[in-house]
Structures are given as C-alpha cells and as structure tokens.
Structure 1
C-alpha cells in the first residue's frame, strides 16, 4: 500500500526544495532534462521500474506490464534517453489513469500527449514525438534497478515531479529528505517575511543562514 500521507507531503513540498535537500544530504537524485508534458502536472509515489531494450532478434512488446502496476505507484521507464521512438502513448495513459497510477516518468519520449492532458494524467519525458516503439523497443525487465537521466532508481524509491522536473529519493531516506526540505522551506519563508517587514535581502539571508542551507554537512 502506498503511504498517501507521505505522497501528499512530498507533493506539497515540490521538487526544488527536495532537490536542495538531496544536495545537502549528498544524494544524487535530480533527473535533469525530464519534464512534464504540461507545467501543472505533478505526482509523488514509489517507483515501478521498467527497463527497455532494442527489439533486435528477440521480439517483444512495449507495454503489457501496465496491469501489474499498483495504484499510487509511478511507472518509471529507462529507455536510455532515446528520442526517435516512443514507449508510452494513448492506451497506456488511459489504463494508468483508470487504475489510479500516480504518474509516468520516461527517460525517452512519449506520444499521444493530448490524452494525458485530457485526463490530467502526469507524464514526464524528455520530449514527445509520433513514432511508435512497436517492433523497435521491448520491455526487457520489470522492478529492477534502472537509470533515468543518469540517476539510479530502484523499485520502491520515491519519485516526485512538478513544473520544475523530477527527483528520485531512495526509499530508505525519503522521510529524512522530506524533513530537510521542510527545514529549508521554513528558512526561506523567514527570509520572505523579513523582506516584507522591510529588511534588506542580504541581511535577511544572513539571519536565516541562507547560503549554507543546501551545503552538505559533515553530520549528515
């Protein structure tokens, strides 16, 4: 069962604060270059991973795994950043939305983007295109460690996405990352409040220890 309270907390926090927390904790989790189809898409949930490979001589299909993805999970597809063939389209979006899957993250491209906009189903990818992956790409392995944009993602790791991109958080550190992100957000809110009261920005930043908020600490 997906921890809905944790998912809600991560969603509300957003990826910029979570990215800063990852930096401070020395965790490489920013999947740079993978963005939402439309800016207002957002999600948070544990990863159901898929590793794609070229079809070659083995044959195979792109998307018949979708029935095994639990509600609240995030489909995370490693297609090695390939931009000339899709691994996600209209039918997968329809089924994922119907099942209550939290979202889809692709190191590669999607197509039929209008459908995910129509259904408000979050899809994050490097781009979109029309060219199918059928007979070009096959789903080779499920729920194995993969890479997206150079970031390792293990099954069950938490993925969070919003208008600024996607971060991946190791499952055993997700609450720690969220706590640090909350600390950073609270410090930034103190800065905004101080500026509203008339304080200079440089003074407000010094008072909140702003310049070390994202810096890695020896005790973490």
Structure 2
C-alpha cells in the first residue's frame, strides 16, 4: 500500500477507477451507496463483516468486531441491504475515528450521523435510519467474503469511494487497475487541455482515442 503507484492511486476518483475496471471487464462499481457523513473520500483495504437476522437461540450483536479492525482499514459491512435497522452508530464512529480506522461502507443504513460528522469519520451507506440493529441482526462472519449490493468484496480488496459512490478493486488486480486508471486520467487531461487551447472537443477526443479508452485490445491479457 505504500509504493508510488498506490500513492498516486489515492488521487483517483471513483469514476476513473470504475472506467479502469470496465477496461478489464471486472465488476466492482457498487450501486446505491452514497456518502452520508464525514469526509467524502475513502481509499484503503477492506475489513469485512457480514450480518444475518437473529436466530431463536441467541440475541443479536452488532459491533464488537471493531476491536479487530486495524488502523488504515475500511470497515465493509454486509447487512443485505436492510433499511429497517442499523449496524453502525455513534459509539462506533467515535471509537473508529480515534483508532485510525479509515471509514465505513455499509450495504444497509447507519445512524448518529451527526456524531460521525463531529468526528470527521467517513460513512458510506444506502441511507440513514435511527432504529438499532441490536436484537434484530447478529454478526454472522468476520474476515470472510461479503457482498455490497451484489459486488463481491474479499478481505484486503481495495475500496475507493467519493461523492460519486463506491468501487471495489480486487487485491490481486489492484496494480493493473490503478495503472490503467492513471493512464486514462492522463489522456483525459490532454483532451481537456487541447480543447481549452482551441481544438474542437470532437477532434480532441478523436486525436487521443477517448471513445476506445475503456475497450481492452483483443490481444491484451
């Protein structure tokens, strides 16, 4: 995570990374998740948690896994898109911010967003809702692959999020995806510069191959 490529990749937008995923025919662009509190920017490895409805044998539990999230990681919570109860609230935001957790992404809803704002802690979710998940859901798995709105997330996959949404980059493809995203970003900057210098947008796009940026060559691996 500390090499020069990842340093540059931290400046990429979710849209730029999504385009690079398209180039490699990879899924990863997560529908529906938006910033709901704190700074609107995330970049880091996923720490995954999956929730399930409570069973008849035990009461629900929603948050003790926080003690296991390392600094710099992003909590990725799979609550199956439920909008009727939360799995993240003010206690979690305050402690996560204090411990250096980068942020939280939820396939579901969260609450106490004012406390997340006060702690400058980023939250991305389907929305806000005040009702607790205690005794409604329970932690089903920690550190296992999860789903964010149908997008698979494995522990250590890279999360990139901003005001446009959330994308997931498989850890094993991260270098290739970020290299391509940076190359595509450079082309788009040249297109804008040429158009601002007087070239027509049509000609600038044609000259720099804008319409084929996301098309992987047939001979490429």
TM-score norm. by structure 1 comes to 0.95
Match of 2:42 in 1: 43
* Alpha-carbon distance between aligned partners in 2 of 1:188 and 1:161, rounded to the nearest angstrom: 20
**Distance in 1 separating the partners of 2:6 and 2:85:** 31
Q: Hey, what does 1:107 align to over in structure 2?
A: 107
Structure 1 gaps of 5+ residues are: none
Q: Give the direction of change, closer, same or farther, for the CA distance of 1:41–1:173 in structure 2 (3 Å limit).
A: same
Q: How does 1:169-208 map to 2 (within 5 A)?
A: 169-208=169-208
The superposition leaves residues 157-192 of structure 1 with CA deviations (integer Å, 9 ceiling, x where unpaired) of 111111110000010111111100001100100100
Q: Is the 8 A contact 2:75 2:103 kept in 1?
A: yes
Distance in 2 (alpha carbons) for counterparts of 1:56 and 1:215:
47
Structure 1 residue 215 displacement after superposition = 2.1
Deviation, structure 1 residue 9 = 2.9
- Pairing 1:68–2:68 present: yes
SS in structure 2 opposite 1:37? strand
Tell me the secondary structure at the aligned position of residue 186 of structure 1.
helix
Q: Tell me the residue number matched to 1:13.
A: 12
Relative to structure 1, the CA distance from residue 33 to residue 116 in structure 2 (aligned partners, 3 Å threshold; closer, same or farther) is same
Q: Tell me the SS of whatever aligns to 1:80.
A: strand
Partners of 1:7 and 1:79 in 2: CA distance: 29
Q: In 1, distance between residues paired with 2:29 and 2:35?
A: 14
Bigger fraction of residues in strand: 2
The secondary structure found in structure 1 opposite 2:83 is: coil
Write the mapping of 1:1-220 to structure 2, written as runs, cut at 5 A. 3=2, 8-38=7-37, 40-57=39-56, 58-218=58-218, 219-220=220-221
Contact kept in structure 1, 2:37 and 2:116, CA below 8 Å: no
Once the two structures are superposed, residues 69-117 of structure 1 have per-residue CA deviations (whole angstroms, 9 ceiling, x without a partner) of 0000000000000011000000000111011011100000000011111
Q: 1:3 to 1:53 in 2, by over 3 A?
A: farther
Q: Distance in 1 between matches of 2:179 and 2:162?
A: 19
TM-score when normalising by structure 2:
0.95
Contact between 1:111 and 1:128, CA under 8 Å: does it hold in 2?
A: yes
Cα 1:6–1:39 shift into 2, 3 Å: farther
**Where in structure 2 are there 5+ consecutive unaligned residues?**
none
Taking the aligned partners of 1:216 and 1:4, their CA distance within structure 2 comes to 26
3-state secondary structure, aligned to 2:9: helix
SS in 2 for 1:13: coil
